[in-house]
Amino acid sequence: MSISRGSQSSRRARNLLFACLPLLSALLLVLWAEHRRIDLSPPPQLYPLQLQSSAELQYFFSEIGYHWPPQRGAAIPPLLVNHLPADLPVLEDSERRKELFLKLLLPVVMAENQRIRQQRRQLLQVLAGDPAVSGELYRRWLLRLAREYRVGGDIRSAAVQRVLLRRVDELPPGLVLAQAAVESGWGTSRFAIEGNNLFGMRTWQSGQGLLPTQRRAGSGHYVRRYGSLRQAVHSYMYNLNSAPAYRLLRQLREGQRRYGTALDAVVLAAGLQGYSERGLQYVIDIQDMIRGNGLTMLNDLEFRSPRDSSVTFSAAATAG
């Protein structure tokens, strides 16, 4: 059966229109963002490392001048290690193991914080520009963000907006690293190596987790399995920013914001009593971990530009 030339032209035009819809949508969003003066720039790119062993990672970090502890204001390489090296638990030098664990995890924490910081900056700009919530795109963006952070109620309410602002905020890297170290035994636990779970996060779906060998009788939980370390960090930070158990932590952080002080990892750790059955003793352990490993000085770090290194990060993506 023959198809007319007009039908073919109409089909090509329709296909072209459908292909262009995502681009047109993105253009409209950018124009709206410009009108609202919202920064929609993406967070810094992390360059994946394919190095497999602890020795390879240590050598590479040394070659690019990535040392621990970083000095205040130091530039951190934007490198992404998706999985802990399998030989990390058997690394004999415990101090080198700790340093390696902190160095490979810090860029991931910084990138997640920058993503949240961008969300918060956009939220502040939107609320300041139109607190009465007018405009369909504005309303949809705000509602989507509220759903993401599990904030209910009328988004036009000042009280609801305050709850949302309290949740859309970053966490001090020192706090994140200290909890990762405590919960994963500095990256040596089975759950960290096999499931990228650094924070003891649980699930009640067997297909999403690993079975604990010493699970209590009658308990149906599993330890959550993640596809990468970044997914684990993202899930953990979302948990602290949205779960009712950590309301005190968010209130303490809000207070530090109100008085214009830097986020204090030791102070915010006081809001973690609900994270462990050990309660206050768990808080003390986290605070000791932060102080004892010099993790209080990590707030002012920035990512290094690839051109600032003699070894390009793009090359690192295929190293090993």
Q: Per-residue pLDDT for 36 more than 50?
A: no
At 100-130, the pLDDT tens digits run 999 999 999 999 999 999 999 889 888 887 5
HEC assignment per residue over the chain: CCCCHHHHHHHHHHHHHHHHHHHHHHHHHHHHHHHHCCCCCCCCCCEECCCCCHHHHHHHHHHCCCCCCCCCCCEECCEECCCCCCCHHHCCCHHHHHHHHHHHHHHHHHHHHHHHHHHHHHHHHHHHHCCCCCCHHHHHHHHHHHHHCCCCCCCCCHHHHHHHHHHCCCCCHHHHHHHHHHHHCCCCCHHHHHHCCCCCCEECCHHHEECCCCCCCCCCCEEECCCCHHHHHHHHHHHHHHCHHHHHHHHHHHHHHHCCCCCCHHHHHHHHHHHCCCCHHHHHHHHHHHHHCCCCCCCCCEECCHHHCCCCHHHHCCCC
Q: Which pLDDT score, from 0 to 100, does residue 135 have?
A: 66
Q: Which residue has the higher pLDDT, 22 or 147?
A: 147
Q: Per-residue pLDDT for 35 more than 70?
A: no
At 216-270, the pLDDT tens digits run 555 556 677 899 999 999 999 999 999 999 999 999 999 999 999 999 999 999 9
pTM for this one? 0.81
At 200-212, the pLDDT tens digits run 876 655 565 554 5
d(CA 139, CA 135): 6
Choose the weakest-confidence range: 17-31, 65-79, 146-160, 271-285.
Answer: 17-31
Indicate the residue type of 171. Answer: L
Q: Per-residue pLDDT for 2 more than 60?
A: no
Mean pLDDT, the chain, integer: 81
Which of 240, 120, 237 is closest to 168 using CA atoms? 120
- Domain borders along the chain are 8-37, 52-111+171-316
Q: Where does 52-111+171-316 sit in CATH, by number?
A: 1.10.530.10
**Torsion over CA of 245, 290, 171 and 242, rounded to 10 degrees?**
-10
Q: What is the arithmetic mean of pLDDT over 297-304?
A: 87
Choose the weakest-confidence range: 20-29, 83-92, 194-203.
Answer: 20-29
- Sheet of 209-210: strand order equals 202-203, 222-224, 209-210
d(CA 190, CA 213): 10
